[in-house]
Amino acid sequence: MTTQLVTFTLADRLCGIPVDQVQEVLPGRARTNVPLAPDDVAGLVNLRGQVVLSVDLRRRLGMPPLEDDQMMVVVFVGDETVSLLVDRIGDVLTVDDEQFEAPPQTLSDQLRAVIRGTYKLSDRLLLALDVDAAAS
């Protein structure tokens, strides 16, 4: 069986989210800060009248902040919509379930907590993001 993933990068890591969990991909937008929120909550974004929580995946994973503008991957988490800030958007890739493996032990604990596993591509690993864990 195959799965389609929307891919993006965080630093030098290639990550993916199942297509059916992605609402849209957008350039970064102005955010309103949320007082007393954790560091990884980047703020609130207005998407066509809908107020959406924005989570900075770099901060959530203990990475240094990105100086350039980030992109937003707007995802479904249960019955809510959340914006995940990422470095760059990639392609939609189709991967085979036979390529899937458990997360490698070499990943940091923070990263392992939000990764379902990895797909071995011909030239690199694709980390399959657990959207619910990453957005909560």
Q: What DSSP assignment string belongs to 113-124?
A: TTEEEEEE-SSS
**pTM metric for this prediction:** 0.92
pLDDT at 68: 75
What are the tens digits of pLDDT across the range 7-53? 999 989 999 999 999 999 999 888 999 999 998 999 999 999 999 99
> Quick one: fold of 2-131?
OB fold (Dihydrolipoamide Acetyltransferase, E2P) (2.40.50)
Evaluate if residue 116 carries a pLDDT over 90: yes
Q: Which amino acid is at 123?
A: D
Give the integer Cα–Cα distance in Å for 108 and 67.
Answer: 23
Question: Residue 47 carries which side chain, given as an amino acid letter?
Answer: L
Q: How far apart are CA 79 and CA 62, in angstroms?
A: 27
Ordered by start, the domain boundaries in the chain are 2-131
Nearest Cα residue to 69 out of 82, 56, 51: 56
- The 10s digit of each residue's pLDDT in 68-105 is 789 999 999 988 999 999 999 999 999 999 999 998 88
For residues 85 and 57, the answer to whether their CB atoms sit within 8 Å is: yes
